[in-house]
Amino acid sequence: MTGLLSIAMIVKDEEAVLRACLDSVEEIADEIVIVDTGSADKTVEIAKNYTDKVYSYLWQDDFSAARNFAIDQCCCEWILFLDADERLAAARESLRELITNTTKEAFMLPMKNYTGPVCSAYNVIGVLRLFRNLPHYRYIGKIHEQVGIANHEVVGYSDFPVISHSYSGPCQRQDKRRRNIKILSEQLKCEPENEAFIKYYLGCEWLGLGQYQQAYACFQFAYEQFDNSHVFFRSSTVRSLIACLRFMGNFREALAICMKETAVYPEYTDLFFDGGVVLEQLEEYEIAARWFKEAAQTGTPPMIYQHTHGTENFLSQYHLGHCCQILGKCEEAAQWYEKALTANKNFIYPLYGLFMVLVTKKSCEELINYFTERGYVTGDEGLQALGELLFASGRPDLAVKVCSQPEKNVMPSSQLIKYYLYSGNFEQALAMIEELQTMPGMNDTATMQAEILCSLFLTDLDAAKEKCLNMWQAESLRAEAIALLALTRRLGGHRLVVSEQYQPVLIESLLKIIADCARSYGGNSSVFIKIAKCCEEILSDFEQGSKALLAYWQSEIKGVEMLLDLRYKCVRGLYVWKKAGR
């Protein structure tokens, strides 16, 4: 042995991510061993900038074989295996102390597996990646390979270093899943003795592809085979079974599993969270709240369990707020929403519920101060969410104020254009539209529609007609163009006969304009009223349009009733009584 720690990797076509991975380990490794399995890009060139131990290996559809070849090239006492799309967060001295002052021969380490582009969306799973360089520690399994360790007493658990697995886009993930299913299916033919484990992994791939029946069949088989000597696999199978049943709409069966397995794994926070979600879907909000409270009280589960980050705090707190809000417990709902926002300011969904609770007690101006003073909307995503809420509340002028703060470098966007438009600032909206149109790929449907509406609000019907005809040239935008052209012609005193194939989009487009006009603000109310009435006239010309318009206003009335119910609990029966005609 010539050092303490080897970093080992197998790679193929990883030029986009390899450098960041190697940067994260360069200072802590005594050697870096990289095995390339057939890259056609600059992967090998990048690797050679970090190490001279770069090897070629003929790919054989066997991940374990490739990893074991890499292990054979390692010369240090310990090996830490990474993938190119992973990063290691570790202090050199802390890591070296961990592996020098121990009798353990391997360590389970926490891996953050990101499930979305948002930094707070990840699962935490324990992975055995750090082990002594001993001949009997080798990978097994052609795919979803694991280090084979017979004596689990030699395995330790450490909450550092943390491995972070980068988020990959949907197309890339789906391609990998299909590849994995092919390899696993072949492996199942050759290794019937490992059927439970292979079907568990097959279930994971089918679940990721949204094929819930196939996934359920695999997980059900694994569930019946695993016992508590396979805690990691069995507990993960339980959660996956619950997920399949939820997606298939079998909520009662999912709940039965939650109730049974929380007794088996009382420290597994995520099962209580899953049970709460199932009860929410069954509209059992009072009981659901008790399950979410249990999840929040249980805290972060041991590393042996696959864990969704946030079930121990902000996710459960958000759902608690939602349950309390539906149950009419508005003050308690606000408290839970605020706890969720405090626990994770990058998780903005509680902001919507908190706004709806507080808007019954505070003005929109007061709410802006309330959210900003508490730091709930410091990031761009939070500001955009607050802008949407202010617009929905009929204050586009305040949405402009929030989303165009002078201290920020404000980029033009279709949302901000909409806020300027419906606050009556047509000139600023046009200026921003022109700026957006000069930016490559930014002249999208929403921007084109906003430009036409701006012309209509300024009563420049000729300009609006010309822009509609230009939009009509693009076949994919033809239906939207016809809807706006129908509105333009009606404002000019003419009717446009719209064929049935374009009517669904026309209905959707005109209802959206009506809704946006209803949320306008400022000294141009007569303009917005005129446009909205014109939209209503067009929709009233044909049966489907009339039905859609009626459904829209019924929905708006329900929204008003809900707001009244929240604001005036003490007289909640008043408007119901009048509506009933008694």
What is the secondary structure of 365-429 as a DSSP string? Answer: HHHHHHHHHTTTT-SHHHHHHHHHHHHHTT-HHHHHHHHT-TTS-PPP-HHHHHHHHHTT-HHHH
The backbone region for 568, taken as left when phi is positive above 0, alpha when psi lies in -120 to 50, beta otherwise, is: beta
Give the chain's count of helices (H) and strands (E): 26, 12
What is the rounded CA–CA span in Å between residue 224 and residue 207?
A: 18
Burial class of residue 5 (count of CB atoms within 10 Å of its CB; 0-12, 13-18, 19+): buried
The answer to whether the bond into 396 is cis (omega within 30° of 0) is no
SS3 223: helix
Residue 538 confidence (pLDDT): 95
13, 32, 43, 274 from 49: Cα distances, Å: 16, 11, 10, 46
Residue 73, Cα to own-chain centre: how many angstroms?
40
- Count CB atoms within 10 A of the CB of residue 200: 25
CATH 1.20.120.1630 fits 5-168, yes or no: no
As a dihedral over the C-alpha atoms of residue 448, residue 453, residue 458, residue 462, rounded to 10 degrees, the angle is 70
Using DSSP's 3-state secondary structure scheme, residue 275 falls into helix
Amino acid at 338: E
Q: What is the pLDDT of residue 580?
A: 40
Please state the separation of Cα 249 from the chain's center in Å: 21
Distance CA 486, CA 452 (A): 12
From first to last of the 582 residues of the chain, give the pLDDT tens digit: 689 999 999 999 999 999 999 999 999 999 999 999 999 999 999 999 999 999 999 999 899 999 999 999 999 999 999 999 999 998 888 999 999 989 999 999 999 988 776 666 788 999 999 999 999 999 998 888 889 887 888 999 998 999 998 877 777 788 889 988 998 998 888 888 889 999 999 999 999 999 999 999 999 999 999 988 889 899 999 999 999 999 999 999 999 999 999 999 999 999 999 999 999 999 999 999 999 999 999 999 998 899 999 999 999 999 999 999 999 899 999 999 999 999 998 899 999 999 999 988 899 999 999 999 999 988 888 899 999 999 999 999 999 999 887 656 666 788 999 999 999 999 999 999 988 888 876 667 888 999 999 999 999 999 999 999 999 998 889 999 999 999 999 999 999 989 999 999 999 999 999 999 999 998 888 999 999 999 999 999 999 999 999 999 988 887 766 666 655 554 444 444 334 443
Question: Which residues are bridge partners to 535 per DSSP?
Answer: none
Q: In the chain, what are the domain boundaries?
A: 5-168
Residue 181 · residue 205 · CB < 8 Å: yes
Token readout for 19 is 């450098």
Q: What is the pLDDT of residue 404?
A: 84
Q: How far apart are the first and last CA of the chain?
A: 91
496 Cβ partners below 8 Å, 6+ apart?
Answer: 482, 485, 486, 489, 490
Find how far residue 376's CA is from the centre of its chain.
19
Distance CA(250)–CA(252), nearest Å, equals 6
C-alpha 93/C-alpha 286 separation (Å) is: 50
Residue 176 tokens, joined: 């990998």
pTM for the whole thing? 0.84
Residue 10 forms beta bridges with which residues?
35
CA distances from 397 to 154, 401, 420, 422, 556 (A): 64, 6, 7, 8, 22
The string of pLDDT tens digits covering residues 367-403 is 999 999 999 988 888 899 999 999 999 999 999 999 8
Q: Where are the beta strands (DSSP E) in 3-85?
A: 5-11, 31-36, 54-56, 78-81
